[in-house]
Structure 1
Amino acid sequence: MTEQPVVPQPDLMTSVNTIGGFQPAHMDEVLRRACAVAGLDATDARVLRGHTNAVVLLDREPVVVKIARRGSPQTDALRTVRFVRWLMEQDFPTAPLHPIAAEQPVVVDGHAVTFWTHLPQPPHPVQAEQLAAPLYALHNLGTPPVELPERDNVTAIRSSITRITDVPTPLIDALSARVDKHAEELPGVQFLHPKTAIQGDPQHRNALHHGNSAVLCDWDTVAWGHREWDLVTIEIHCRRFGYGTEHYRDFAKSYGHDVTTWEGYPTLRDLRELRMITTNARKISHAPESRAEVIRRIEGLIEENTDLRWNIL
């Protein structure tokens, strides 16, 4: 591996607004009330991440609390809870839900809140090769007893494009043209495997060290679809975020398949990168510091620069 990006970890709950667009006083209140329902102590909690959800580590308990934005469908959080409970029953390598004195999710002022057992981590991220075994296991678990949404990247991309407000119109038009082009290609793609449960966004930051192996986490994107979407996501993260070619090759060897050798790879790669870019583009209002990087990525796509290094947002 050529480089291992490190996610900054602010020290105070009051920094939520700088990394996730949340108002700190309100988030602190939501956290306190949710923890009271769960029978936990929220004193001196520390933010771990805040890009989409606020992810907070409790100081007095070995618990990570995930707070969804207000308005996020509560049914999504409930589906995640039910799916992860099923995984835990299968002894699947997943970050475990933490037992609390209430049913999950706990809903406070429109925010769905879930609780997870904290797994202490070393300073270096999980390597792509470590993702191979749990992903392969997931793709071969069979049909879960939880209805999962169908993976539909084209619809998700188009939805995000309609909500972009802080990117020049010519660049938005270019994104629309690209998704239309690849949407026409997608029906002709011959997938190698039947549909199954997929993680949706498998990557180094959506996995955790656990002993000598790794477990998957962040199941908000779990879906029903072709495993090739997961495999191409791993390849993109290795190529775009500086981990290096060898890092991906180790993953492919361990998984038993190199998705880049498949004829459908370019279409899935381009659609998956479009989804990553358009998702970040529609969130610029919550994270204005990301605007320059988002525009740089869009310009790279227009130039067909598949090797452009992306900075982590």
Structure 2
Amino acid sequence: MVTENRSPANRSSFSSESGWEILRIACAEARIDCTGAKLIRLGENALFHVPNAAVVVRIARSGYGSDARKEVNVSHWLTEREFPAAELYDVDQPITVDSYPVTFWKFIDGRPGSKQDIAALGGVLRRLHETKPPSDFELPHANILGRVRPRIEVAPIPKADRNFLLERLDELESKLPDLRFRLKPGPIHGDAHIKNLMIQDGQAVVIDFERFAWWQPEWDLAMTATEHLTAGWWSADEYHRFVDAYGYDVTSWEDGFDVLRSISELNMTTWLMQNADESAEIAAEYQVRMRTLRGEPSPGWRAF
């Protein structure tokens, strides 16, 4: 791993502005010309496309170096298993700029997953959950609430919201150990939504290995179910196509699904909350999601 000690401006917050400076430092270290780079997305990470090198640069938030190293290991493992997944760019990595881990990926010349690909998501998740685990490293046990508390503690939100979210977190943490799962544990993606698929030459390619873990397949399936039932992003017909492709409907798990759905809702809200200062649209959507968490009927959530 290469470590770079120069500090980006505005270290106290992770923003599009600080992301650009981290990009320039990391690309200089990797000897990549980042002229013409474009910001793809700012969320848990900042993703940049550098067309000069046909590379995607992924900048994680401070303190997640172990996850970046895991991503590198997962990529090697999936390549060995001939699983359709993003491939590493040929450079020594991850690079650390101050405390921000940076990884480099071959650009996938395709399109992002969309509503028409919901069955492909179900199919690729089934294949992933049945994939033989790695032999040269261990996938960590999933900690599906692990990022929520740090997000809440530093987010630009009112104190009343912070207290409510922390109480909800405590409640769900207390319920999680009592769940009795129906499926066998195995490799999981951990953030299994449609935007973590790319479609290249008609084939679904999995991206974003940050949350890969060894745990329950129900967690990956609960993401799409929550997007259907709470966010309203999938119609009943689309959700059934996902279920048919996978072969199991997690919503039929009557004594456990509601807990995973609530955890998904909390994760989705606190993920968005991190960037509430980035735009008025994100701030407004955060309020919509908070009203849903407080028990108001969901009018549907907007995707970012």
- Band of TM-score, shorter chain: 0.7 to 0.9
Aligned to 1:13: none
| Deviation at residue 43 of structure 1 after TM alignment | 1.6
Which residue type is aligned with residue 249 of structure 2?
D
Distance in 2 (alpha carbons) for counterparts of 1:266 and 1:28 = 40
Give per-residue Cα distances to partners, 1:241-276, cap 9 Å, x unaligned: 523222111011001101111121111111221122
For residues 118-154 of structure 1, give each alpha carbon's deviation from its aligned partner in whole angstroms, at most 9, with x where no partner exists: 1123477262211122211221123323333322334
Correspondence for 2:45: 53
Report the equivalent of 1:125.
114
**Which residue is equivalent to 2:16?**
22
Q: Is structure 2 residue 77 aligned with structure 1 residue 83?
A: no
User: How many angstroms apart in 1 are the aligned matches of 2:290 and 2:195?
Assistant: 23
Contact 2:88 2:105 in 1 (8 A): yes
- 1:170-181 equivalences under 5 Å are 171-181=161-171
Name 1:40's counterpart in structure 2.
32
Query: Is the CA contact (8 Å cut-off) linking 1:241 and 1:312 kept in structure 2?
Result: no
Question: What residue in structure 1 maps to residue 203 of structure 2?
Answer: 213
Structure 1 residues 39 and 21, CA, compared in 2 at 3 Å: closer, same or farther?
Answer: closer
1:150 paired residue number: 141
Q: Secondary structure at the match of 1:220?
A: coil
Whole-angstrom distance in 2 between the partners of 1:227 and 1:86: 19
Q: Which residue in 2 is equivalent to 1:294?
A: 286
Q: Give the superposition deviation at 1:282.
A: 4.4
Map residues 248-263 of structure 1 onto 2, 5 A cutoff: 248-263=239-254
Unaligned runs of 5+ in 1: 1-19
Contact 1:166 1:285 in 2 (8 A): no
- Kept after mapping to 1: 8 A contact 2:50/2:57: yes
Once the two structures are superposed, the pairs formed by residues 178-257 of structure 1 within 5 Å of their partners are 178-239=168-229, 240-257=231-248
Residue 113 of structure 1 corresponds to 102
Separation (CA, whole Å) in 1 of partners of 2:191 and 2:253: 20
After superposition, the Cα gap between the structure-2 partners of 1:29 and 1:176, relative to the gap in structure 1 and judged at 3 Å, is closer
Count of matched residue pairs = 287
Moved more, 196-205 or 114-123: 114-123
Tell me if the contact between 1:131 and 1:214 (Cα under 8 Å) persists in the aligned partners.
Answer: yes
Give the Cα separation in 1 of the matches to 2:259 and 2:296.
13
How far is the alpha carbon of 1:181 from its aligned partner?
A: 3.6
User: Which stretch of structure 1 is more off in the superposition, 279-288 or 199-208?
Assistant: 279-288
For 1:68 and 1:141, how far apart are their aligned partners in 2? 27
Q: Deviations over 1:8-27 (max 9, x none)?
A: xxxxxxxxxxxx7132xx64
CA–CA distance in structure 2, aligned partners of residues 156 and 60 of structure 1: 34
Q: Does 1:278 align with 2:270?
A: yes
Amino acid paired to 1:280: L
Runs of 4 or more above 6 Å deviation: none
CA offset at residue 189 of structure 1? 1.9
Following TM superposition, by how much is the alpha carbon of 1:166 offset from its aligned partner in structure 2, in angstroms? 1.2
Q: CA separation in 2, counterparts of 1:30 and 1:159?
A: 22
**8 Å CA contact 1:197, 1:224 repeated in 2:** yes
Amino-acid identity (%):
31
Residues 155-214 of structure 1: CA deviation (Å, up to 9, x unaligned): 543443333441351x44433443344344333321012322211111111110022220
